[in-house]
Amino acid sequence: MTRAVTRGRTIPFFAPDLFEEDREVLLDLVRRTGTVAGQRFILGERTAALEEALRATVDGAEVVACSSGTSGLTLILTAMGVGPGDEVVVPAYGCAPLGNTVANLGATPVFADIDPVTMVVDPAEVERAITPRTRAVMPAHMFSVMADMPAMREIARRHGVRLVEDSAVAQGGVLHGRPAGTWGEAGVFSFVQVKTFGTAGEGGVVVTHDAELARVVRALRNHGQEGPRFVHQRVGLNSRFDELQAAFQLHRLPGLAARLERRARIAAHYTERFAPLAERGIVPPPPGRDGRCYYVYSVLAEEREALERHLAAHGVASHVYYPLPLPHQPAFARFAPPGREWPHAWAASRRQLALPVNPHLTDAEVEYVADTVCAFAAGGRAA
């Protein structure tokens, strides 16, 4: 069966042919960008055109292109004045930028535990973590589930703190009719290759309905320049966007909806197949499309290492994300108070396993992945 479906090769987790159809376009864009009058390789007309095109996807919010999703979070926090003496509440389970961006500004990341099934930060834990020093809360969407942003907005309003939405993985997601990235005062998307709107390199955007915040972020991304060139109104960063990447993203934007739909259908099929496996130790994400994003499809498996080996033995690549919660990472140990525990984050780090969901998978490959997981749950596991 493995040979019939995979033809002797592994079903990849990351699509190796992600940009194959765009090869000639990309090469042509390199030539045209390099030979256009003025030879402006950063923050030119293509970047402006991409920002304007993306505005239509986020209810007309301001869009500011920058060098990465991580730098986008730094720009937002800097524009909000977060710094030494401040605290920012972040999930205890997730990607390092949740802690890095706060710590690098001299502020303190305060870790809040997560929901045991969805793996997004628990609003009740966020509220418990707020102190008089809290300047902002920064929930993150995880894998295929958006955080409970209505609850986060209410918490931020009640406590008078800023709300930053780490929507790096959630471009195209919609919760209660509102696009990901627009629930907080500002949000970010990441364009790194493996994201849903990934490009052939790095990049990202800041999204905000706050025109003044957008103005400050635009200045900060370009060394604090605002107005005449080489006149710096504030201390800024180098977080500029590449014209070649902008041109390539403009080329790929019309196909984004179809790629997201393909990911959504694959995820829905997995969830339907895996829902009966919960009593056998394999828990899929909750069903439905509202508040969903399709960057990564993750299950929680009681015997994760055994399932990982079983999949590999049958030619299916899988991926473990975040094998340690953030407060257990050496880099953030100084921000973990003695005696404090994050049990759901710890459990997720021991059980999470991501399955292939990239839009280049064939129906046969998707079915084969699902069959292989179900066979493991039924006891037919590889030695």
Q: Is the pLDDT of residue 239 over 70?
A: yes
- Same-domain pairing of 313 and 239: no
Strands 282-283 and 204-208: unpaired
The lowest-confidence range among 181-185, 244-248, 319-323, 347-351 is: 244-248
Q: Which two tokens stand for residue 186?
A: 């500002």
What pTM did the predictor assign?
Answer: 0.90
Boundary of a domain, candidates 230, 254, 278: 254
225: buried, middle or exposed (CB in 10 Å: 19+, 13-18, 0-12)?
middle
- Is 383 among the domain residues? no
Element containing residue 353 per DSSP (H, E): strand 352-355
Over pLDDT 70: what percentage of the chain?
A: 91
Q: Over the stretch 100-109, which tens digit does the pLDDT of each residue have?
A: 999 999 999 9
Instruction: Look at residues 180, 205, 201 and name the one whose alpha carbon lies nearest to residue 192.
Output: 201
User: Any idea what the CATH number is for the domain that residue 42 is in?
Assistant: 3.40.640.10
Tell me what the mean pLDDT of segment 155-165 comes to.
Answer: 98
- Same-domain pairing of 75 and 198: yes
Contact 90, 112 (CB under 8 A): yes
pLDDT of residue 146: 97
Tell me what the mean pLDDT of segment 366-382 comes to.
Answer: 89
- Same-domain pairing of 119 and 229: yes
- Same-domain pairing of 196 and 183: yes
- Same-domain pairing of 71 and 86: yes
| Set 46, 141, 195, 252: catalytic member | 195
Boundary of a domain, candidates 195, 222, 254: 254
Q: Over the stretch 45-72, which tens digit does the pLDDT of each residue have?
A: 899 999 999 999 999 999 999 999 999 9
- Same-domain pairing of 206 and 235: yes
| Torsion region of 64: left, alpha or beta (phi above 0 gives left; psi -120 to 50 gives alpha) | beta
Give the domain range for residue 288. 2-14+255-377
Tell me what the mean pLDDT of segment 160-185 comes to.
Answer: 97
Q: How many domains does the chain have?
A: 2
- Is 382 among the domain residues? no
pLDDT of residue 170: 97
Annotation marks residue 100 as catalytic: no
Boundary of a domain, candidates 221, 254, 287: 254
What is the residue whose two structure tokens read 């706060």? 102
